[in-house]
Amino acid sequence: MTGQIVIVGTGVAGATAAKTLRAEGYTGRIVLVGAEDGLPYRRPMVSKELLAGTVVERRTLLDTAESWRVGTIDIRTGTRATEIDSAGRRVRLADGEWLGYDSLLMATGARARTLPGPQRNVHTLRHAADVAPLRSALDTGGSLLIVGGGLIGCEVAATARTLGARVTVVHAGSAPLERVAPPAVGAFYRKLHADNGVAIHDAVTLTGLAGDSDGVTATGSDGRTWTAAAALVAIGSVPDTELATVAGLDVDNGILVDEHYRTSAPGVYAAGDAANRFDPELGAHERTEHWNSAQAQGAAAARSMLGAPPACPEVPWGWSTQYGLNLQFAGRIRPDDAFVLRGSLDEPAFTVLALRERRLVGAIAIARPADLRAARGLIGRGAVLDTGACADPSVPLAQAEVAEHVGR
């Protein structure tokens, strides 16, 4: 097949889509356009190794410049796409150049959610370019206030401690990591952070966060205040739908796509953190914000553009590393699920399983990657578990399955 495919976004979804097009035999021109400077890189390393300074930026790259050249993928980094003419099937770049396309993939990812008003010494962390200012604040100031108790807030807390900073976390939720883990796991992480010198304050509603050359002051609705040399606002991300909105695509918590990643405009697809995809098995749209999901979606969207058969849907899963401890989570948990503990919360190696009518729907594994691997398969096929057997960490998880399948 010849022609031209344009991909906007050099994150993992866009980069994987470009590689997949070639792997599937597409021989036309591929242009990969990205607003960030530099080649596609592993974003998860931003809050971990890159901020810690244990790897240099070159080590975070998904692929070498040579590999992109050999794959004849025309990468335009430091270049923003500013407009889509969907009737004329062309996309405009910031320098005014128009690129025609047969198919266009929007892999524009997400942006860090911010608090109103720019403030001195108040940072966010999404891109590799955000690392240097935060790192310099940590090196000179010595103390960091993190607003947000989710994955990025907690990861940065752990990284900043390894750099010797004094760290405090305030967040609105009732336990850290509550978007991905049940309260018992949140309590484990609160203790882990406390043991490493980080206090996490729950249920804090900030009425102000002010920053000046002397540092930052946060004020809670109950009158409490916190001061530090710098602050990191880590209160989640918002899908980057700016270009899609300008182009008139249907947008609702992300760029709306059908199960085949098709947007409301002909020939225009979307994948990754930016996309809110209709999942026929769930009967609903779902937007994920995990590396593996963005990667799988980039590959699936590329195959869809070529009319290739879709791959089996992946159970969403992600991971985090804090103080060297690996956490992995999979599936979709709800507070009213029945949670089963495999192992002991007093040890830094256990798994919590989420069951709904005895069917495995989610899992969170701390330093038990084999459990998570097994859980992903079991969740994917709607396995029903024996609650006694699955609670015993000495029984391989797959052996806890009983011969009753009730769909996913």
Ligand X SMILES: Cc1cc2nc3c(=O)[nH]c(=O)nc-3n(C[C@H](O)[C@H](O)[C@H](O)COP(=O)(O)OP(=O)(O)OC[C@H]3O[C@@H](n4cnc5c(N)ncnc54)[C@H](O)[C@@H]3O)c2cc1C
Q: Which residues bind ligand X (CB under 6 A)?
A: 8-14, 33-36, 43-44, 46-47, 80-81, 107-110, 125-126, 152, 240, 243, 272-274, 289-292, 294, 318-320
Q: Which of 298, 333, 337, 332 is nearest to 316 (CA)?
A: 332
User: Is 89 or 359 the residue whose CB approaches ligand X more closely?
Assistant: 89
Least separation in angstroms between CB 17 and ligand X: 9
User: Is 218 or 275 the residue whose CB approaches ligand X more closely?
Assistant: 275
Beta-sheet pairing, 225-228 with 215-220: antiparallel
The residue type found at 55 is: V
* DSSP of 30-41: EEEE-SSSSS-B
Least separation in angstroms between CB 109 and ligand X: 2
> Which residues does residue 29 pair with via DSSP β-bridges, in sequence order?
4
Least separation in angstroms between CB 304 and ligand X: 16
User: Is 293 or 384 the residue whose CB approaches ligand X more closely?
Assistant: 293
Q: Decide if 55 contacts 135 (C-beta within 8 A).
A: no
Q: Where are the beta strands (DSSP E) in 165-305?
A: 166-170, 199-201, 206-212, 215-220, 225-228, 230-233, 237-239, 255-257, 268-270, 275-279, 284-286
| Cα–Cα distance, 229 to 140 (Å, whole number) | 9
Q: Which of 387, 348, 21, 393 is nearest to 196 (CA)?
A: 348
User: Is 109 or 362 the residue whose CB approaches ligand X more closely?
Assistant: 109
Least separation in angstroms between CB 80 and ligand X: 4
| Cα–Cα distance, 267 to 247 (Å, whole number) | 13
Least separation in angstroms between CB 263 and ligand X: 15
End-to-end CA distance of the chain: 36
| Cα–Cα distance, 38 to 185 (Å, whole number) | 37
User: Is 75 or 110 the residue whose CB approaches ligand X more closely?
Assistant: 110
Beta-sheet pairing, 325-331 with 338-343: unpaired
Q: Decide if 385 contacts 396 (C-beta within 8 A).
A: no
Least separation in angstroms between CB 114 and ligand X: 13
Least separation in angstroms between CB 243 and ligand X: 4
Report in angstroms the alpha-carbon separations of 125 from 81, 130, 219, 384.
Answer: 22, 5, 22, 40
User: Is 50 or 385 the residue whose CB approaches ligand X more closely?
Assistant: 50
User: Is 80 or 166 the residue whose CB approaches ligand X more closely?
Assistant: 80
Least separation in angstroms between CB 208 and ligand X: 25
User: Is 263 or 359 the residue whose CB approaches ligand X more closely?
Assistant: 263
> 3-class DSSP state for residue 283?
coil
